[in-house]
Structure 1
């Protein structure tokens, strides 16, 4: 059975690459668009529960439309779902991405001007001009140049990226500085460093590397998986994770976490990134 999270089939229409593989009423090549909203929920069904979120500039293939909603597949990780059509814009070419934990878009190149939107780490913008310490985006808003970097630049250490998000509130299915969950903390940190990463912890466990033998010492940058949870190893005796225990991104002593989570799940995998 195909995983619906990463299978571009709305139930009515499927992407053409699935032709001959699934039984769908209609197939389509889809239409490429970019997220124009600062942040958008990716829903399981039109007006249904949130599974993940997409950030401004994310490229998606629109496969189906139903009323006010569009069914899309995200280019970066293949995740599928429904979002409000009003969140979408043209398929422009971003030039910069946000490298600060968060920033604002301003109405003018002036720090005292009204802010129009908040952007999260790894949101993307197309810069068309400059004024002082501000860069103008293609929709006429302004972002502080200190908070963005060329789209081709990459972070060097995903743990260091994840550490910039300490204190971010926990949010189930969240993918931004406003709120994120365990798998988003892993995905964001790896994407900033130019590494592809699936959206959910079970997909990450299957994709990011082979499990190490039991008893292998943990080191900074490793990942530990439980059923439905993932954490960065930030030091041999410490993890960093977005967790419902503190409702935030926080450090936790490794053995304390293992003991605390044990009634729900043992550690299922210890992975060292390829």
Structure 2
């Protein structure tokens, strides 16, 4: 009965399931989750509690991770609040939950021990990370946001949680040159679907994590698309890949060909990808 649920999106196993699934699945036990938050700059999420297992995605600083089980080896099984992704993380990367107030808008920004850029930073957090601001202070004419964990960040690098960018594709364009990283989900390295997800989030659009999920769920399906009819912000999918339309005959994507976030002509990319990578375009969608 549990096999019908995608293990990436449903905290359901034969031996354990979230209490919210009681009556819908069979499991040895049902548990209430304990909401925690990520306290590392990035936290790898894996399909098994094994450091040698591949990485599915990454959780960002301050994001909620609801824990359903912990092991004596230091692993936590749970679900990421931002996009519902399920898996295992190191429990050393989690701390008690607090309501976030702001989101990191800069590509990346440092957290400082006091509110002073001359001090060695505590960490480097990516766009999309969440923080709880308790106050502000100014040091040498630069305003800092004071966080609930005692650290401080440059205030102009943050936006309120309800802030929405008018052009989410412009946010994606800020990632140009960022290294490609399979399963990466930060401005230090990310994959094709993470680029879509993170930029869309800045535009107030909730998008699932993996490209196959996006291909069936993101926005609206374009039934009779032609390359020439695609508009800025449309998504072009291949089996295992996604790109963002920038404008007429131009796409932006994190890709293994350049190993970066790159912009290139759509028609040339279609030919190359069909010949060497993912085959033909499978679907196009509009956010």
**TM-score tier after normalising by the smaller chain length:** over 0.9
> Which digits, 9 at most, give the CA deviation of each residue in 1:115-145, with x for residues without a partner?
1100100101111122211111111111001
Partner secondary structure for residue 250 of structure 1: strand
* Deviation (angstroms), 1:90: 1.2
Q: Which segment is superposed worse, 109-118 or 16-25?
A: 16-25
Within 2, Cα distance between the matches of 1:215 and 1:135?
47
Correspondence 1:110 to 2:120 = no
Higher mean displacement: 16-25 or 37-46: 16-25
- 1:212-236 CA deviation, whole Å, 9 max, x = no partner? 3142611111000000000000012
Retained in 2: the 8 A contact 1:103–1:118?
yes
Aligned residue runs from structure 1 range 191-230, under 5 A: 191-208=201-218, 209-215=220-226, 217-230=229-242
Paired positions, count: 273
Give 1:12 shift: 2.8
Match of 2:21 among 14, 18, 38: 18
Farther off after superposition, 150-159 or 183-192 = 150-159
Q: Is the 8 A contact 2:184 2:194 kept in 1?
A: yes
- Following TM superposition, by how much is the alpha carbon of 1:211 offset from its aligned partner in structure 2, in angstroms? 3.0
RMSD: 1.2
Indicate if the aligned counterparts of 1:37 and 1:55 stay in contact, CA closer than 8 A. Answer: yes
SS of aligned partner of 2:68: strand
In the TM superposition, 1:1-274 aligns within 5 A as: 1-47=4-50, 48-66=53-71, 67-132=73-138, 133-208=143-218, 209-215=220-226, 217-263=229-275, 264-273=278-287
Distance of aligned partners of 1:143 and 1:84 in 2 relative to their CA distance in 1, 3 Å threshold: same
After TM superposition, the structure 1 stretch with the greater mean CA deviation from structure 2, 8-17 or 117-126, is 8-17
Contact 2:5/2:12 (<8 A) preserved? no
Distance 2:110 2:129 in 1: 11
TM-score norm. by structure 1 comes to 0.96
Unaligned runs of 5+ in 2: none
- 1:259 to partner: Cα distance: 0.5
Ranges of 4+ aligned residues in structure 1 off by more than 3 Å: none
**Contact 1:43–1:49 (CA under 8 A) maintained in structure 2:** yes
Unpaired runs of at least 5, structure 1: none
